Amino acid sequence: MFKKALLALPVAMAVGATAQAGEWQDPNDVLQQFLQENPDSAYLHQSEMNIMMMPDNPALWLVDEGEDLFYAQRGPNNVSLEGCDFGKGPGELDGAYVELPRYFEDTGKVMDFEMRLVHCMKELQGFTSDDAAVARRHGSGSDIMKLTTFIAHQSSGMAWNPPLDHPQEQAMRDAGEKLFYRRGGAMDFNCASCHGDVGKQIRASVLPHVGAGPEWSKAVSWPAHRAGHDNVRSQNHRIRGCVWQMRHAGIKADTPVNTALISYWNDQARGEPAILPDLKR
């Protein structure tokens, strides 16, 4: 532990001290607190079935599988991911997920969670883009989603707190805000077309509002088991689906447009506890 703390120190100094993120909480406890404190939120209360299923969230299976993967010696280099720094120091996962995206000195740029995970799997473990471990981004059976769910779970109940101290972090967050409101594509939609108002529905689905703290915290709380897909999904999967529905061009994984949007998403949920993993319709 002492050694890890030493390694983490330069990073902490580089990005400046961040606010205390709070204690770990069970994801269902966070959800119950949101429901009790926001009895009128149609978004939060839309699925009784999902609320009932939350203690038995199928995504919790991936936490255990992801833990095994994280500590296993894998890849051509036969090392674990304990050397991966998600911003709190190598192998330090408590609170790391809710403090992303952030600027990383070693790459000289702002990275979101998935980008950083893939970076570590390549640089530390030696996987290449063609290896299934990295190439498969979606589905409960993918290594990426298992690892994502395990790592994110270590931040459950802690407040979203993506750092903005580095000028690149602020720049990406501000560009993400522009992207969120940028009308475009074949049907002129922006993100706010669906997420700019409280209690609106697309067909049967009640939409979360970007300005409504607890609603938005739940909305960006991925990974989540998506009942309609019967799979655990990521923030990047949600972006891909939204961009597809919006009739913009097809977005690629691991790209800076994702990072900027997630920077804005997580910033808009700032201060609210995260539900990790969540369960969604």
Partner 1 sequence: MFKKNAVAAGMAAFASVALTAGCAVADGSKGSDVDITAMSADELAEHLIFETDSFRDQEMQEGGDWRDRMTQDDLQKACSLKGDPDGETAGQVVAMARASYEAPESIELGDWRKGAELADSGYGYRQGHRTDDHSQREAGGNCYNCHVFDPRVSDQGTVGPSLQNYGANRGTSEAVLRYVHEVISNPHQYFPCTQMPRFNSDRHQLLSDEQISHIMAYLLDPESPVNNQ
Catalytic (active-site) positions: 242
Residue 128 falls in which region: left (phi positive, over 0), alpha (psi -120 to 50) or beta: beta
155 binds partner 1 (CB under 8 A): no
263 binds partner 1 (CB under 8 A): no
136 binds partner 1 (CB under 8 A): no
CA atoms within 13 A on the CB side of 42: 11
122 binds partner 1 (CB under 8 A): yes
Instruction: Determine contact, residues 215/267, Cβ cutoff 8 Å.
Output: no
Closest CB to partner 1 among 67 and 97?
A: 97
Q: Which stretch in 20-28, 47-55, 163-171, 265-273 sits in contact with partner 1 by CB under 8 A? A: 163-171
Instruction: Determine contact, residues 275/221, Cβ cutoff 8 Å.
Output: yes
The residue from 2, 39, 167, 228 that contacts partner 1 (CB under 8 A) is: 167
The residue from 139, 245, 270, 281 that contacts partner 1 (CB under 8 A) is: 245
Closest CB to partner 1 among 42 and 65?
A: 42
45 binds partner 1 (CB under 8 A): no
Closest CB to partner 1 among 188 and 230?
A: 188
Q: Could you give the 3-state DSSP secondary structure of residue 1?
A: coil
In angstroms, the CA 20 to CA 28 distance is 22
Closest CB to partner 1 among 224 and 260?
A: 260
216 binds partner 1 (CB under 8 A): no
Q: Which of 89, 85, 117, 50 is nearest to 258 (CA)?
A: 117
Helix (H) or strand (E) holding 188: none
Q: Which amino acid is at 21?
A: A
254 binds partner 1 (CB under 8 A): yes
Closest CB to partner 1 among 138 and 270?
A: 138
In angstroms, the CA 278 to CA 219 distance is 9
In angstroms, the CA 63 to CA 147 distance is 8
Residue keyed to tokens 């702002």: 110
Q: Is 252 exposed, middle or buried (0-12, 13-18, 19+ CB in 10 A)?
A: exposed
Instruction: Determine contact, residues 160/97, Cβ cutoff 8 Å.
Output: no
Q: How far is the CB of 139 from partner 1 (least distance, A)?
A: 13
Six token digits for residue 176:
């993400």
Q: Which stretch in 12-20, 30-38, 108-116, 147-155 sits in contact with partner 1 by CB under 8 A? A: 108-116
148 binds partner 1 (CB under 8 A): no
Angle at alpha carbon of residue 69, lines to 64 and 71, rounded to 5° = 100
129 binds partner 1 (CB under 8 A): yes
135 binds partner 1 (CB under 8 A): no
The residue from 171, 198, 227, 242 that contacts partner 1 (CB under 8 A) is: 171
Q: Which residues lie below 8 Å from residue 6, measured CB to CB, with a gap of 6+?
A: none
179-208 positions binding partner 1, by CB under 8 A: 179, 181-190, 192-194, 196-197, 199-204, 207
**What is the binding site for partner 1 (CB under 8 A)?**
107-109, 111, 115-116, 118-119, 122-123, 129, 167-168, 171-172, 174-175, 177-179, 181-190, 192-194, 196-197, 199-204, 207, 240, 243-245, 247-252, 254-258, 260
